Amino acid sequence: MTLWRSLLRLAYIVYGIVSRRPLALSDINDVDGITSAALFKRKYPQGVVVLAYPPEVKNSSLLKRVRWEFVADLPCPGKVRIRADHHETNKPCAEQEFYDPSAPASALLALKGLGLEGDEISEQLVKIAIETDTARIETEEAMLLDAAVKGAGYLGKLYLVENLAKRGLDVLNDDRVKRWIERYNEVKRRTEEMAHVLPVYDETLVIFEKDLHLAYRYLSILLERRGAKFTFIIVPKPFFMFRIYAGAREESPFDSSIIARRLGGGGHRYAAGASFRIFPRSKGLEMAIRELKDFMNRDRLRFIVVYDFKNFEEREF
């Protein structure tokens, strides 16, 4: 987490506490989390929304100390009145839990938890969240909102939360939002180029030597569409961090959430992830590979090591 985002988050929390406004914590990472936050703002227009990644909730003593009115699509930080979530790896702890691992999106559970069933804008947003979170995007609105969320920064995501709550999908006509869509579409294009050149195996394991700022979850999906039954992608991040993306096709025997949990993360059987920090970086890579070997019950694993968009090699570990 950047220092700037940490300070900004702290400012929002302090403002919410001092002004005695209801506080919500939601996933920053995708449409499901942003939609769930927008539902909260639709229910509580004066409420204050804070966004976070799942590992931040697990590791932040600040987020665990706050009394939250509503938490969605994230691990339970501890002091929560209402929580809506569908991740099997996130165990319940709130006073009122709307928790169902079989639900297609947390936003659907948030709709019930916040008592917004029958509200036209809310139900329209939930349909979009379900499309994106199940990776079955069928409408242009779902495609555009997914791109807007992924192309926006922290303040941009808060802008989307506020305006989705007020205007629904009309926010997609906003010039600012269109710029975020264009930004992500460029990332998406580069990701598709990478997916096209990488070799694909039943078990496609990839190590990036540096962060090429791709849409790595989308890369996993593209590799699965080309035939991979299981994907595991390791990406280095600043400050000795690693980000792991794991995915599996429905007919695969693999459960991605198991390896993600071993590395401190979580998710679903078919899509999961984790973040961890280990110094030096070589030890972090060794740890991830060791856990994957154990998970797959293998002594050796073949990885595709990516140096840049044109250079990669296959290597055994």
DSSP string for 38-104: HHHHHH-TT-EEEEE-HHHHHH-HHHHHS-EEEEESS---S-EEEEEE--TTS---SSEEEE-TTSS
Q: Helix, strand, or coil here: 235?
A: strand
Q: What is the pLDDT of residue 236?
A: 96
**CATH number where 204 lies:** 3.10.310.40
Backbone angles phi, psi at 8, to 5 degrees: -65, -45
Pull the structure tokens for residue 11: 């400012």
What is residue 1's predicted lDDT score, i.e. its pLDDT? Answer: 53
Q: CA-CA distance, 52 to 151, in Å (whole number)?
A: 16
> Whole-model pTM?
0.91
Q: How many domains does the chain have?
A: 2
Helix (H) or strand (E) holding 243: strand 241-248
Which of 115, 146, 181 terminates a domain? The answer is 181
Quick one: 308 and 272 in the same domain? Answer: yes
101 and 213 in one domain? no
Are 236 and 149 in a shared domain? no
C-beta of residue 27 within 8 angstroms of C-beta of residue 54 = yes
Q: Both 71 and 122 in a single domain? A: yes
Q: What's the CATH code of the domain at 42?
A: 3.90.1640
d(CA 193, CA 215): 11
Phi-psi region of 21 (alpha: psi -120 to 50; beta: other; left: phi over 0): beta
Q: Pick from 130, 156, 181: which residue ends a domain?
A: 181
Q: Report the distance separating Cα 130 and Cα 125, nearest Å.
A: 9
- Residue 216 structure tokens: 């790595």
Tell me: do 258 and 168 sit in the same domain. no
Residue with tokens 């997916």: 195
Structure token digits, residue 173: 């006509």
Any domain includes 190: no
Question: Tens-of-pLDDT digits for all 317 residues of the chain?
Answer: 578 888 999 999 999 999 999 999 999 999 999 999 999 999 999 999 999 999 899 889 999 999 999 999 999 999 999 999 999 889 899 999 999 999 999 999 999 999 999 999 999 999 999 999 998 999 999 999 999 999 999 999 999 999 999 999 999 999 999 999 999 999 999 999 999 999 999 999 999 999 999 999 999 999 999 999 999 999 999 889 999 999 999 899 999 999 999 999 989 899 999 999 998 988 999 999 999 999 999 999 999 999 999 999 999 99
Beta-bridge partner residues of 207: 234, 305
- What letter would DSSP give residue 309? S
The residue to which tokens 């459960």 are assigned: 255
Residue 94 lies in a domain: yes
d(CA 261, CA 185): 31
251 found inside a domain: yes
Domain that holds residue 71: 3-181
- Rounded Cα gap, residues 269 and 285, in angstroms: 23
Q: What is the CA radius of gyration of the chain?
A: 19
Q: For residues 202 and 225, what is the distance between their CA atoms, to the nearest angstrom?
A: 11
Q: For residue 187, is it within any domain?
A: no
pLDDT at residue 161, rounded to an integer: 98
Q: Is residue 192 part of a domain?
A: no
